[in-house]
Amino acid sequence: MSVTETPAPPPAGEPDPGGDNGDAAQAHLRDRISADSLTTRRDYLRIVATVSGGLAVGGIGVAAGILHRHGDSETAPQAKKVTERLAPGESVAFRFPGDEDRALAVRLQDGTLVGYSAVCTHLACAVLWREDRGSEGELYCPCHEGVFDARTGEVTAGPPPRPLPRIFLTEEADGSVWAVATARSGEQGRDALCRQFGDSRPEMAAQLGCPGADGAIESRRT
Ligand code: FES
């Protein structure tokens, strides 16, 4: 599996994502998820490396509860197929983790795959991918000229008070891209994964060194 981030398991009892065309890939993804032993520690570390990076904390709108925000769930959301393939310089808009949650996946020219909420942290306008801006493209909000770093989601210009929340993506061997988890704006990647996988995927949480994960595994065995 060519993985930039590791798939999350769909919660029990929920319908399959991805529609009819995604059934086979989804089944494959589930198989992989259900076998923790197939997911290497290196995969987990890639997750952390992709989503960490010193995101700043803040946000008047979210802090006041005005705007719906990504990453509030304490459990891993249902994995969702974003696209069959994403070439360098391209982006795709999708909704994740909920149907109202606008999001963007972008493939940078060096192959790096990144995902973000597409809801501007200023006044919730739609954030767009602009490959023609900056040295390697930028995430741009046209409402008030807000600009976010494409590699980190950090604010680089304009009034947005905080970075874009990250979305964890994974790329399967067939090139399909999946959204599997979220991070709150300003939240470190490992913290986000521990929050979402700590209860539902204790083996994964243990690989990440999440507090309490070993105890959760032990309690499952007894
Ligand atoms: Fe995006 Fe104002 S809403 S910069």
Q: What would the pLDDT profile of 156-174 be if each residue is shown by its tens digit?
A: 999 999 999 999 999 999 9
Mean pLDDT of all residues belonging to the chain: 75
CA torsion sign for 121, 69, 8, 202 is positive
Atom of ligand 1 nearest to the CA of 124: 3
Provide mean pLDDT across the span 66-87: 77
Which of 66, 117, 119, 144 most suits a substitution to test ligand 1, by most atoms within 8 Å of the C-beta?
A: 144
- Sequence-ordered list of residues with C-beta below 8 angstroms from that of 24, at least 6 positions apart, any chain: none
The letter for the amino acid at 2 is S
Query: Rg for the chain (alpha carbons), in Å?
Result: 17
Which protein residue's CA is at the shortest distance from atom 3 of ligand 1?
123
125 lines ligand 1 (CB under 6 A): yes
Task: Tell me which DSSP letter residue 79 carries.
Answer: P
| Cα–Cα distance measured from residue 79 to residue 32, given in angstroms and rounded to the nearest whole number | 12
For the segment 80-94, what is each residue's pLDDT rounded down to a tens digit? 999 999 999 999 999
| Cα–Cα distance measured from residue 110 to residue 25, given in angstroms and rounded to the nearest whole number | 26
Are residues 79 and 27 in contact, defined by beta-carbon separation less than 8 angstroms? Answer: no
Single pTM value for the model? 0.67
